[in-house]
């Protein structure tokens, strides 16, 4: 998979040189290219923004600079992803679908956002899909943090990136749509607190049922919205697998 990220702060994406994503890059599993939007400016001041039509506070990113940049990195079949507070929620299901694709291009806006004609222009281009997404109901200063989130959420799903693929199934928002159960490790006693006895029992069936019960309780308590969407069939399949 190839992912291009375009930003006026390319150093913001430096953490993608680290850990699993960094290993995926050096191992050839992920071709990640980070670009400075200002490389496509033509004026002495390398200007990327201007005042908004219709007035209002802040500045808007110019469509012409973005158009030159995206024409340079987009190819047929690419999926243009634009982080924005007004975007569709980025979910695990979205990440799973994106991990199946060949080429993602993430356009990181700043200021009050990117001129709306940019997304409109590329939606009209045959062979290019455009998705505006959001990583949560809070306001950030730009799209770079969202790009970090998206790249990590997608890269970890690529074959060979995570050591034990089975770990991708049980985690929060995994196949059954439940939040993850609580996890414990040594020492068995810490700060006057014990590990639940069932986890020391060696009885795999009981452990699996306890974990599913804990996941259900957590999901009902913290994310009642997910309970309504629970895939009971997937839950039963997960149960049968234990």
Ligand X SMILES: N#Cc1c(-c2ccc3ccn(Cc4ccccn4)c3c2)n[nH]c1N
Binding region for ligand X (CB under 6 A): 83-85, 87, 109-110, 112-113, 134-136, 138-143, 146
Note if the bond before 55 is cis, omega within 30 degrees. no
Please give the Cα distance from 117 to 175 (Å, whole number): 37
Is the CB of 6 or the CB of 178 nearer to ligand X? 6
Q: Residue 141 has what DSSP assignment? A: S
Positive or negative, the CA dihedral 82, 88, 90, 93 is: negative
Min. distance of Cβ 15 from ligand X in angstroms? 17
Give me the least distance between CB of 59 and ligand X, in Å please.
10
Could you give the CA distance from residue 26 to residue 3 in angstroms, rounded to a whole number? 14
Pick the closer one to ligand X by CB: 8 or 178: 8
Closest CB 147 distance from ligand X, rounded Å: 8
Which of residues 81 and 178 has its CB atom nearest to ligand X in the complex? 81
φ, ψ for residue 161, nearest 5 deg: -80, -50
Q: Which of 214, 216, 213, 209 is nearest to 178 (CA)?
A: 216
Nearest CB to ligand X, comparing residues 74 and 106:
106
Q: For the CB of residue 172, give the shortest distance to ligand X in the complex, in Å.
A: 19
């Amino acid at each position: 998979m190839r992912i291009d990220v375009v930003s006026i702060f390319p150093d913001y994406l430096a953490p993608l040189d680290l850990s699993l994503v960094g290993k995926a890059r050096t191992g050839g599993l992920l071709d990640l290219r980070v670009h400075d939007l200002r490389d496509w400016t033509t004026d002495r001041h390398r200007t990327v923004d201007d005042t908004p039509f219709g007035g209002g506070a802040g500045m808007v990113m110019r469509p012409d600079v973005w158009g030159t940049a995206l024409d340079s990195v987009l190819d047929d079949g690419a999926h243009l992803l634009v982080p924005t507070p007004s975007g569709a929620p980025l979910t695990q299901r979205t990440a799973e679908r994106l991990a199946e694709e060949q080429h993602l291009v993430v356009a990181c806006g700043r200021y009050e956002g990117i001129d709306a004609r940019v997304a409109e222009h590329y939606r009209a281009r045959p062979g290019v899909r455009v998705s505006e997404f959001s990583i949560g109901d809070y306001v950030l200063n730009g799209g770079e943090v969202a790009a970090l989130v998206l790249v990590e959420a997608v890269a970890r799903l690529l074959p060979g990136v995570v050591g034990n693929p089975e770990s991708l199934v049980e985690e929060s928002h995994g196949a059954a749509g439940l939040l993850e159960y609580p996890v414990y490790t040594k020492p068995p006693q810490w700060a006057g607190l014990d590990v639940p006895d069932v986890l020391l029992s060696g009885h795999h069936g009981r452990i699996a049922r306890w974990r599913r019960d804990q996941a259900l309780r957590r999901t009902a308590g913290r994310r009642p919205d997910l309970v309504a969407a629970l895939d009971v069939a997937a839950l039963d399949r997960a149960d049968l697998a234990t």
